[in-house]
Amino acid sequence: MTHDALSPVLSPLLEAAGGSAIRHGYFSRAGGVSQGLYAGLNVGLGSADDRARVLENRARVARWFGAAPEALATVHQVHSPDVFTLSGAYDGTRPAADALVTATPGIVLGVLSADCGPVLFVDPEAGVIGAAHAGWKGALGGVLENAIEAMEALGAARSRIRACLGPSISGRHYEVGSEFVARFVGTNPDHAGFFRPSPREGHAMFDLPGLSIARLTAAGVEAENLDICTYADESYFSYRRTTHRAEPDYGRQISAIMIRD
């Protein structure tokens, strides 16, 4: 795995919308230099992986876009609804936030994940892009809607925005407890539709991708789901799979998008 070429999955919806003006990719573990538990393209600065290897992996992602390593913009993800707007050149800061938007060409917006949902956005007519990290807290808290609003502040129109949910844990493998279900249903009774019975009493299977797509659609954005389960597909890092195997740590993959210069 470590010696393969980078092989990101592309979104048909974003490809059709952005054309040659936008480049994007949902990266797997393939093509990186990390070893052991992190084997492959681990881009997680918060992991215990060798930092030099993580930086090389991130540089490889930037180079895939035809950009310098310092053009790869990410944030310190904290499962929040907060959005960071890049209005000019990227200065390397990583503020606490879970989404980024920009209208500046040449900046690669990236979000990291290991079961949570990475969502990439584009309004090609306005030349505005976005990237969001939507775990259950972020999705429930409004990170996707906030990213759309931040794009609108840069000139985008939600009627033109296209969004794609990348590799994330599926409802087939996301078991939660009754308190988790109660929290969601207490917020909105319609959220009950995102839960299915679990084989274990007092538990349910949670459809995080379904929630994210529903919220994007309700916000007036055309959206698609790549339907790649990070838990089931070992080409991707998975926090929950790592936990079930009692492994000490895990890597993170990246999903990224750029307006071409």
Q: What is the pLDDT of residues 81-117, one digit of tens each?
A: 999 999 988 999 999 999 999 999 999 999 999 999 9
pLDDT band at 4 (very low <50, low <70, confident <90, very high): low
State the DSSP H helix or E strand holding residue 129, giving kind and residue range, or none if neither.
strand 128-134
Q: How confident is the model at residue 137 (pLDDT cuts 50, 70, 90)?
A: very high
Q: Is the CA virtual torsion 35, 37, 40, 44 positive or negative? A: negative
237 pLDDT higher than 70: yes
Nearest residue to 126 (alpha-carbon basis) of 149, 103, 96: 103
Q: What is the DSSP string of 29-59?
A: STT--B-GGG-B----TTSSS-HHHHHHHHH
CB 24 within 8 A of CB 118: no
At 119 the three-state DSSP class reads strand
Mean of all residue pLDDT scores within the chain: 96
Residue whose structure tokens are 């993959």: 253
State yes or no: pLDDT of 31 exceeds 60: yes
pLDDT computed for residue 144 by the predictor: 98
Convert 208-226 to b/e letters by CB count within 10 Å (16 or more is b).
bbbbbbbbbeebebebebb
pLDDT average, residue stretch 20-37: 97
pLDDT class of 123 with cuts at 50, 70, 90:
very high
**Sign of torsion, CA 127 94 146 195?**
positive
Any idea what DSSP says for residue 105?
A: T
Confidence of residue 2 (pLDDT cuts 50, 70, 90): very low
Q: Which CATH superfamily is domain 12-170+207-259 in?
A: CNF1/YfiH-like putative cysteine hydrolases (3.60.140.10)
Distance CA 123, CA 125 (A): 6
Burial of 126 (0-12, 13-18, 19+ CB in 10 A): middle
Tally of CB atoms within 10 A around 247: 11
Residue 163 has pLDDT above 90, yes or no: yes
